[in-house]
Amino acid sequence: MTVFRAYDVRGVYGTELTEDLAERVGKALGSYLADGKITLGRDTRKSGPSVERAFLDGVLSAGCNVDSYGVLPIPMISFETWKGSYDAAAYISASHNPPQYNGIRFRTAEGYGMLYHQTEMMDLYEKGAFREGEGRKTDRSPEDAIRRYADYVEGKLDIERPLRVVLDMGNGSACGMSLLYQRLDFDGRVINGEPDGLFPGRGPAPTEESLKEAAKKVVGARADYGVGFDPDADRGLVIDDRGRIVTPEKVAVILAKERYGPGDKVVAGFDCSMIVERELLPLGIEVIRERVGDVYVANRVKKEGAVLGVERSAHFFLSEFQLSDDPFAMSLALGEVISRGERLSDLADAIPDYPYIQKSIRIEGSPAEVMRRLAGDLASLEPDATDGLKICTEDYSVLIRPSNTEPLIRLYVETAGGDEDELVERFEGIIKGALK
């Protein structure tokens, strides 16, 4: 499988993602930017310094100048890129993948995800048509970047009482971010706060299972809430004061209700719960669906002038802060809401829960051909084909889409009618029928 994915370069370090490939990617980006200037950062993976050096060699050899921040969350790199008027950003990380993976991510001059396949970069990579030059590297302080960000967001917040928050840094790039919460007078209780690219504390992916220790800490410390971050800290999963995970969709609904209003737009990933529409449309807030993928959602937020974007995988985009996915901005805006007096658990419980079932069906042959057959079989239900096939009724939603990484068709069923088992059986049967 190619390491050149829809919105980043990613693979197993040493076999799929090598120093030679990283250097060539660097040459391609540097050539595309033509004497430009970029920011560069990375997470805590063991292979990070080696991949970073190789990528840096490539960028510099094409005449591009680089300001390097070392280990720093990608939202901070995005902020520095935007506020510092850089031409782009690059980041060495494989996001929530296991430690043996690494990758290279890209940001635009405004700090949000770059759809690099839509630029000349890949054409330059494939042709080997690289510029030659002598770029300059300048080392920048990650702590100074965090302070600048703290000064910026402080002016956008009105937190009415002191808050206690548990921060599960996951041994990743978020480990230095307690400085932000200290500057804003939060009582931050940190766990898994030692940088370690093997992610020994709870693994790289924040999930309900992996955040059990953080959830206990929230309850034991009588904290107002908690947040668990992934290695590059572009995702944040929220824990309420009772130690329960609050789904990203519920967090988005709470923020939209408390912070925004009629006429505003919210962009939701295609696989997000239907509670987003059910809760926000009656308030006059427009909900726009976008295909799955944080870079796609980021670009749609920018295009639509939306106030908020959310993905089921816990990416949040609050454009009043910046266009990048930014779980720190999310956590601070949520803190402002909680500081007014209501408990997060009560706010979350005021939003209904619907059964949401995910199933995977293994296939042989072309996923595109299977999806073509399914489109015919489901035509009478008029599915939305933005990303796979999605059927929405007043009582349920069904999404069928191919996996981006495995030979699987994924089925997502959500219902308010208590008939989830019947719906799963019905649509799983339709999918299996299309495989024959």
Residues serving a catalytic function are 95
What amino acid is encoded at 90 in this protein?
A
DSSP 3-state assignment of 215? helix
Give CA angle at 330 (329, 332), nearest 5°: 65
Q: Are 315 and 326 in contact (CB under 8 A)?
A: no
Q: Which two tokens stand for residue 366?
A: 């072309």
Q: Which two tokens stand for residue 21?
A: 């490939």
Give CA angle at 27 (93, 132), nearest 5°: 155
Q: Which two tokens stand for residue 11?
A: 């693979």
Q: Are 266 and 319 in contact (CB under 8 A)?
A: no
Q: Which two tokens stand for residue 78?
A: 């995005």
> DSSP for 355-413?
-EEEEEEE--S-HHHHHHHHHHHTGGG--B-SSSEEEE-SSEEEEEEE-SSSSEEEEEE
CA distances from 156 to 5, 35, 199, 302, 321 (A): 35, 35, 33, 20, 8
- The 10 Å Cβ neighbour count of residue 285 is 23
Nearest Cα residue to 358 out of 305, 410, 418: 410
Residues contacting 19, CB < 8 A, separation 6+: 50, 51, 53, 54
What is the distance, to the nearest Å, from the Cα of residue 364 to the centroid of all Cα atoms in its chain? 30
- β-sheet bridge partners, residue 39: 67, 89
